[in-house]
Amino acid sequence: MFQTVISEDEIFKTHLTGRGHPESPSRFKIAKDALKLRGLLSPTNRVAPRLATSAELMLCHTQDYIQTVQENMLACVKCGREDGSFTLSTGDVQICSASDQVARYAVGAVLGSIDAIMLGQALNAFCLVRPPGHHACSDKGMGFCIYNNVSIGARYLIQKYGIERVLIVDWDVHHGNGTQEIFYQDPSVFYFSTHNKHIYPGTGFSNERGAGLGLGYTLNFPLEGNLGTRTALLEIFNHSLREAMKIYKPQFVLISAGFDAHEWDPLGGFNLTTEDFRELTSITKGIAFEYAEGRLLSVLEGGYSLRALEEVIPAHVGVLQESD
Strand order in 252-257's β-sheet? 46-47, 2-7, 122-127, 296-300, 252-257, 166-170, 189-196, 218-223
211: number of Cβ within 10 Å: 13
Please confirm, yes or no, whether 61 is among the known catalytic residues. Answer: no
Task: Give dist(CA 218, CA 236) in Å, integer.
Answer: 14
Residue among 135, 174, 175, 316 flagged as catalytic: 135
Phi first, then psi, for residue 267 (nearest 5°) are -110, -20
In 149-305, alpha helices (H): 149-161, 177-183, 229-235, 242-248, 274-291
Task: Give dist(CA 75, CA 79) in Å, integer.
Answer: 6
Task: Give dist(CA 263, CA 284) in Å, integer.
Answer: 21
Q: Which residues are catalytic?
A: 135
